[in-house]
A and B are shown apart, each in its own frame.
Chain A
Amino acid sequence: MQEHVQLDQKQINKELLNGVLQMPKWWPGATAVVLVIFIVGLCAFGYMLNKGVGVTGLNRPVYWGFFMVNFVFWIGISHAGIMISAILRLTQAEWRRPVTRAAEVLTVFSLMAALMAAPLVHVGRPWRADLWVFPYDFARGVWINIRSPFIWDPSAVMTYLTASTLFVLVALLPDLAIIRDRSKGFTRVAYSVMCLGWRGTPRQWKLQAVAGILLSALVLPVFVSVHSIVSWDFAVQIGPEAWHSTIFAPYFIIGAIHSGVSAVATVMVLMVWLWGWKNYITPDHLDAIGRLLIIVATTWFFFFFLEWVFALYSLEAPELAMRDLQVFQWPWSGLFVLFLLTAFFIPVPMWLFRNLRRSLWAMFISTILVNVGMWLERFLIIIPGTMRRGHMIFDWGSYHPSLIEILMVAMTFAWVILGMLLFSKVFPLIPLFDIKEAMVGRDEIKVGRKTVPASIRE
């Protein structure tokens, strides 16, 4: 049964602002470490700018490698925020409240990481990558090619980034006002500006709630379109083997939700460990997210199954050659087994047990495993696909990532962690007002000898 901790407003303010108004002991060290990794990655990028894409492991025909894998991976993670905030808000799931902001912030930073991974470091001439999105040849009437999925892609990702940032900002306003009231000097001025004159009048609250609901509803189509379009980057192609499958859009979306929600669960556990917010993130919340994950993971597995069945159904030689590579040839076979274990066969059975769902350690490990598995999933789709096990066996390819590539990939990871850490120092990671709203709207009903949690409905 759910335990009921009724907290008063003072305590909520004090506990949830502990990362902002004070400096947690571990914070400077952790931030320094990721900052160093990030800078090393930037140096690797500079080296590549100077020398050329030759410093990566890419070759012909493996033209898309590590960067694309990580682009897809980060776009996948970014599906956490909207899944948690918008969908769970619209379906009125109470357990979303303490994790909405962390999930949205994760969305924003992982989208930026994705943009770093794909257009920025991926292209041959990064200094001209802006021309991709902002067409340059007005005078001669040359416009961007809207038939290209690479035009749909930045459009969708930018829209998603804008919407997610708005999501974060709208939900931040009341909390910023609380910090403003508790700080002095320059900090106070800064927060006053950021909270846009929030006074907490009924009108302001109403507008804030309406904005939240409207954004939730409007962002849903964007949410679906982003990863669909990312999947079409691959699926519309007829060159590489095994990509040209209609299942890709749903398969990618559900995979994104799988990895994104898992990442949120990881962040939840970290929030308890690092900031000690165990009054807010309780085993009930982990239990709920674990149950959601069982459904998501099973659906994902169904689409995975469909993808495979139809690959075999076609019985086309190139398709079979690519599958053979994925499953039977070392090191791909090892990675494939690892992928299956980590993405599905270890975590899902774990979540079936209520005790494990409610344990911080078990959830931490299982959700980290999911993201290892989902990273491998993208790797195993993209790289063997570009290795072109097609009819032209003269040109079958192979690929090893270079150190430079690995450093740049580490840079994207460092960026997301760094972003989260910096954010947590300036803004509260758990929305204070949402928690307070839950406390007000929460009630209990006695059914026979049992007490069930209840909530007030307008």
Chain B
Amino acid sequence: MAGEKWGMVIDVDKCIGCQACVVACQAENNIPINTEDLYNQRRAVQWIRIERYWEGEFPDVKARFIPVLCQHCSDAPCEPVCPVFATYHNPEGLNVQVYNRCIGTRFCANNCPYHVRFFNFWEPSWPESLKNQLNPDVTVRSRGIMEKCTFCIQRIRRSTRDAKAEGRGVEDGARELNPACVNACPTDTLFFGDLNDPDSKVARMSAEETGEHGRGYHMLEELGTEPNVLYLKKVDKNAKEASHA
């Protein structure tokens, strides 16, 4: 089974900015509630966020959405700078965070060009009524350490373990394998799978879309971080017409 390389494809063309992925991630990964206070302090934790940009002048204004999460870079800038190996690259191509090792230098967060690493400024807390809905498979992170998107590693672990026990491989695109954000997306914007398996959906999409006429691009490609998240750019019909005219 050696040699998985988990990756994601995000079709920006389909994203409607509904934030379902954000909420799903919040629930799956025991992320404390982002109150208004936390937003105002700029300390909200969102492992996946929808960045919204306005394009054009009134009245021809368009909202553009782009979901941004940890890119699980193959050449991740956050990894070499951690003095205590709290962040490292695992053999499955995931950029993982070891909470117990982290001492909170915040060096990794500083060196992340995508701003997808989050620091626990406060001890996490939930209202009494929500205590029982915490996910038992995910650690609650204490204050003073970094956290970030894991591609829902607990789901990857459980599904591969279950599949192994039943003597089969994990099905590509199975709900139990997919991260919470992928499952929650109503428009099929997000795709998750093993990039090393040539038959998987994500591998096929990246092969198709990174060609000459493909829509694929990596975020901040000029930095050479080699992300494992591939974006497919928006199909802009107006732009095409403009170029014809």
Residue of B at shortest CB range from A394?
B51
* B-binding segment of A6-14, A24-32, A89-97, A124-132: A124-132
Considering residues A53, A60, A64, A137, which has the most beta carbons from chain B within 10 angstroms of its beta carbon? A60
Indicate if A390 sits at the interface (CB-CB under 8 A).
yes
Partner of A124, one of B104, B111, B113: B104
The secondary structure that dominates the A interface is loop
Q: Does A60 contact B107, Cβ atoms closer than 8 Å?
A: no
Partner of A59, one of B41, B53, B80, B220: B41
Q: How far is the CA of A95 from the CA of B240 in the complex (A)?
A: 75
Within 8 A of A (CB), among B33-82: 41-44, 51-53, 68, 77, 80-82
Q: Does A132 contact B121, Cβ atoms closer than 8 Å?
A: no
Q: Does B121 contact A395, Cβ atoms closer than 8 Å?
A: no
Partner of A395, one of B102, B106, B115, B122: B115
Residue of A at shortest CB range from B41?
A59
Within 8 A of B (CB), among A57-77: 58-64
Residue of B at shortest CB range from A130?
B103
* Chain A residues, CB < 8 A from B236: none
Indicate if B126 sits at the interface (CB-CB under 8 A).
no
* Chain B residues, CB < 8 A from A123: 103-106, 144
Q: Does B144 contact A52, Cβ atoms closer than 8 Å?
A: yes
Considering residues A122, A131, A394, which has the most beta carbons from chain B within 10 angstroms of its beta carbon? A394
* Chain A residues, CB < 8 A from B115: 60-61, 388, 392, 395
Q: Does B53 contact A394, Cβ atoms closer than 8 Å?
A: yes
Q: How far does the Cβ of A138 sit from chain B's closest Cβ, in whole Å?
A: 13
Residue of A at shortest CB range from B80?
A147
Indicate if B84 sits at the interface (CB-CB under 8 A).
yes
Within 8 A of B (CB), among A98-147: 122-125, 128-129, 131-132, 135, 137, 142-145, 147
Q: How far does the Cβ of B128 sit from chain A's closest Cβ, in whole Å?
A: 21
Q: How far does the Cβ of B224 sit from chain A's closest Cβ, in whole Å?
A: 9
Q: Does B52 contact A53, Cβ atoms closer than 8 Å?
A: no
Q: How far is the CA of A260 from the CA of B223 in the complex (A)?
A: 36
Indicate if B200 sits at the interface (CB-CB under 8 A).
no
Indicate if B169 sits at the interface (CB-CB under 8 A).
no
* Chain A residues, CB < 8 A from B84: 131-132, 135, 144-145
* Chain B residues, CB < 8 A from A124: 102-106, 119-120, 143-146
Q: How far does the Cβ of B42 sit from chain A's closest Cβ, in whole Å?
A: 4
Q: How far is the CA of A386 from the CA of B115 in the complex (A)?
A: 11
Indicate if B180 sits at the interface (CB-CB under 8 A).
no
* Chain B residues, CB < 8 A from A52: 120-123, 143-144
Considering residues B51, B81, B102, which has the most beta carbons from chain A within 10 angstroms of its beta carbon? B81
The secondary structure that dominates the B interface is loop
Q: Does A128 contact B110, Cβ atoms closer than 8 Å?
A: no
**A61-B115, A125-B103, A145-B83 in contact; A237/B41 too (CB < 8 A)?**
no
Q: Does A397 contact B42, Cβ atoms closer than 8 Å?
A: yes
Q: Does A149 contact B105, Cβ atoms closer than 8 Å?
A: no
Q: Does A122 contact B105, Cβ atoms closer than 8 Å?
A: yes
* Chain B residues, CB < 8 A from A419: none
Indicate if B109 sits at the interface (CB-CB under 8 A).
yes
Q: How far is the CA of A60 from the CA of B101 in the complex (A)?
A: 21
Q: Does B85 contact A236, Cβ atoms closer than 8 Å?
A: no
Q: Does A148 contact B107, Cβ atoms closer than 8 Å?
A: yes
Q: Does A54 contact B122, Cβ atoms closer than 8 Å?
A: yes
* Chain B residues, CB < 8 A from A397: 42
Q: How far does the Cβ of B80 sit from chain A's closest Cβ, in whole Å?
A: 4
Q: Does B113 contact A238, Cβ atoms closer than 8 Å?
A: yes
Q: Does A125 contact B42, Cβ atoms closer than 8 Å?
A: no
Q: Does A60 contact B42, Cβ atoms closer than 8 Å?
A: yes
Q: How far does the Cβ of A158 sit from chain B's closest Cβ, in whole Å?
A: 14
Partner of B85, one of A145, A388, A398: A145
* Chain A residues, CB < 8 A from B146: 124
Q: How far does the Cβ of B231 sit from chain A's closest Cβ, in whole Å?
A: 13
Q: How far does the Cβ of A18 sit from chain B's closest Cβ, in whole Å?
A: 46
Q: Does B122 contact A237, Cβ atoms closer than 8 Å?
A: no
* Chain B residues, CB < 8 A from A386: 110
Indicate if B118 sits at the interface (CB-CB under 8 A).
yes
Indicate if A150 sits at the interface (CB-CB under 8 A).
yes
Q: How far is the CA of A59 from the CA of B44 in the complex (A)?
A: 9
Indicate if B112 sits at the interface (CB-CB under 8 A).
yes
**Chain B residues packing against A (C-beta within 8 Å):** 41-44, 51-53, 68, 77, 80-85, 101-107, 109-115, 118-123, 143-146, 220, 223
Task: Give 8 A-B pairs besides A60-B109, A398-B42 with Cβ atoms closer than 8 angstroms.
Answer: A59-B41, A61-B110, A124-B102, A125-B144, A142-B85, A392-B51, A392-B115, A394-B51
Q: List 25 A-B contacts (CB under 8 A).
A: A54-B43, A59-B41, A60-B118, A61-B110, A63-B106, A63-B109, A64-B106, A123-B106, A124-B103, A124-B104, A124-B145, A124-B146, A131-B103, A132-B84, A144-B83, A145-B85, A148-B82, A148-B107, A236-B81, A237-B81, A238-B113, A239-B112, A392-B115, A395-B51, A397-B42
| 6 A-B pairs with least C-beta separation | A124-B104, A124-B144, A54-B121, A59-B42, A150-B83, A63-B106
